[in-house]
Amino acid sequence: MRKAEKGSTLTSRTMTRRGGFTLLEIMIVVLITGMMASIALPRLSFYVEPRVAVLQRMMEEAGEMALSGTTVRLSIKEEGSTRHGPIVAEGYLKRELPEDSLSVFLGTAGNKPEVLEWREIELKNMPDGENWRFDPEVIYFFTDGSCTPARITYTQDVYGSEEEHYILTVTGYCMELASRN
C-alpha cells in the first residue's frame, strides 16, 4: 500500500462534512425556546395596564385635540344621586346646518356667523369604569395647550372604601397620589 503524501487531503477515512445543523442541535434550540416561552407567557397574559397610564394617554389625546383648535372638556356622566360615573368627552365644535336648510339650498349658509356648541366626541383612550369623580367637576383643555388642574378619584367599590387618587396638572400631566395608610 502506498502512503498518502504529506499535503494530500484525500484519504480513505477523511469525509467531507457539509455545513448545517444536526437534528440534536435543532431539538435543543426548540427546547430552550419552549422553556423561555413557558416562563414569559403567563406573566404577559395577566398584565393589566395601570389606570394612571390610561388616564395619561386620555389626557394627552384631549390635549392634542385642543392644540389642533378644538376646546375639549371632560366631565362625569352622573348616575343617580352620587357624583360618580363614567367619563364623558365633549368638544366645542361648529354646529352643522341640516342639508334641507333653506340657507344651504340658496347658498347663503357661509354668510351666517359660526354657531359653536358642545358635542360629545370620542377619544380612543377612555378609561373603563363607572366610578370616576372629578374635582372640579369639569376639566377643560384649551387651545394654548393648558388645562384646568383637577383631582381625579376612582372608587373601586360601592362603599367608597378603596379609592385611587390622581392629580392633573395645568400642563396635562397626570400622576397618582400615594395612598395614606
pLDDT of residue 85: 87
* Overall number of domains in the chain: 1
Q: Residue 108 domain-assigned?
A: yes
Q: Residue 1 domain-assigned?
A: no
pLDDT of residue 100: 56
- With a cut of 50, list the residues of the chain below it in pLDDT: 181
Q: Residue 160 domain-assigned?
A: yes
pLDDT of residue 83: 75
Q: Residue 66 domain-assigned?
A: yes
Over residues 23-35, the pLDDT tens digits come to: 999 999 999 999 9
pLDDT of residue 11: 53
With a CB cutoff of 8 Å and minimum separation 6, the contacts of 92 are: 70, 71, 72, 73, 116, 117, 118
pLDDT of residue 1: 52
Parent domain of 122 = 51-176
* Residue where the block lists cell 340658496: 106
**Short-list 149, 130, 154, CA closest to 51:** 154
CATH number at 128 reads 3.55.40
Over residues 97-137, the pLDDT tens digits come to: 555 555 555 555 555 556 788 899 999 988 888 889 999 99
What span, in angstroms and rounded, lies between the C-alpha atoms of 18 and 165? 66
Q: Residue 125 domain-assigned?
A: yes
